[in-house]
Structure 1
Amino acid sequence: MEDASETRHFRTLFISDVHLGSKAAKTDFLLDFLRTHEADTIILVGDIVDGWRLKRSWYWPQSCNDVVQKLLRKARKGTRIVYIPGNHDEFMRDFPGIHFGGIEVAQRIVHEMADGKKYLVLHGDEFDVVVRNARLLAYLGDWAYDTAIAINVILAAVRRRLGMPYWSFSAWAKLQVKHAVNFIGEFQRVVADEARRAEVDGVICGHIHHAVMEDIDGIHYVNTGDWVESCTAIAEHPDGRLELISWSHKVSEAPAGKRASKLVPILLPKPLSEPSQDDGVRAA
């Protein structure tokens, strides 16, 4: 438990899968997080803007502008911000090396921690066979995910009225499907293999909305999670130590117009084991 009004400062923050332009994006939560967390460097690990959904129907409320303006303001004040595009904001991949308002675009980077360890940082969609080779199936999966998120909203409202804690139907459903579990395990393995080929100590990615930090055959695998369901980020301390931050769902349950004053930890799914190859499941 800690007071949300206290600003924490880190060497680096890693954030991914915000999906600005999607009604499911928890922009208010991210703004609250950015107000109370500062860093020398912020690395945006893909799917910050949801170009797929914006193509289907335009949705860009003021809160999306607020997130963009908050990041630009941090850049103006001296924070280095690196934008690594994902599959939902793949239009940004046409601008590697370009700076937009102080935000630099890169396909992938190798980040050296304060303790000298090197991490490959990339979104990870290039290891998703469905996204790469079956775009129509990926779009259908995207629609199904939207539907699950809509169910989340209804259930959250009912559970609030009953005084019950937040619970994510979409996250639960994803982890109950055997193929999805197999996909996550296989995804983690192949991303760790890519880090091994790059001769680094670890890898930081996003894409599958499954926040976790674990060792995979000598490679430290880190997934940043998302700001659609879990509201998670990875923080590097001044000594190079990494922390998985879960921004409280209690913020979402506060009455409209009021901010929660406390952070309450949430439980993350346990690391998965015994992965098997599956190309038929799409990552979010």
Structure 2
Amino acid sequence: MVAPKGGGNAWVWGLTSMILFMIFLMINVFIRLKKLDESEPEKRLTFKEWWATIDAKFFTKAIPLEKEEEFILDHEYDGIRELDNSLPPWWKYGFYATIVVAFFYLLRFHVWKTGPNPEQEYNTEMRIAAAEIEAYRKSSNDMVDEKTVTMSDAAGIAAGKQIFNKQCFVCHGMNGEGGVGPNLTDDYWLHGGSINDVFKTLKYGVSDKGMPAWEKAFSPSEIKNIASYVKSLKGTKPANAKSPQGELFAENELAKVQVDTATKK
């Protein structure tokens, strides 16, 4: 059994209370058995009789079969009559124990406030989970897609350049000046100019324009690096650059729109 994060102390308190209750119950049983033996010293009980005595007094406390007719209630339903039997002592003692535990719970969490309540535990676990997810994402570059991609660092851009020079220069030129494919160094884009758009174009391709999909050839982290290198080519003005194609993409205007939208939300 594993205690939930943030609630370990509550488990210790509850477990301690239950252990103390069980010890009290066992002491009570032994005291009563000792008194029973002292009252009938001449009679020695067999194990079966001894257990039956304990069971009748402390566990079931059921009415003997031969006396059940005296305790059957008058009402009847569908031929079934109710026996006015006692609740098992263990059940009653357990119920009393829950009252004791509830009393300490009330004091600790709502009066003394020495422990986190369920809402505080939930918020703590959510913060821990968010931190663990963020740490995992940082350690695993392949946990990225067109919605979560961000610019790579300098090392990632350098790695993206190596892949670009091996696979992409045929259509886009060695410096991104364009050829069969569009110029990648100006402000005009056929399929969007954000890092997310470039990642998506690289990943899924554009079949009607002859752009292959690279999602099976490269990992998400490699596609991220290529996209970041492509973005880094902006404004480099290589020789023999191809004329602009597509629509003008303003990076700063896009950022301003995103900020305004987030502010309104």
TM range (shorter): under 0.3
With the length of structure 1 as denominator, give the TM-score of the two structures.
Answer: 0.18
With the length of structure 2 as denominator, give the TM-score of the two structures.
Answer: 0.19
Return the index of the structure with the highest Cα Rg: 2
State the structure with bigger RCO (CA 8 A, min sep 6), 1 or 2: 1
Q: Which has the higher helix share?
A: 2
Q: Which has the higher strand share?
A: 1
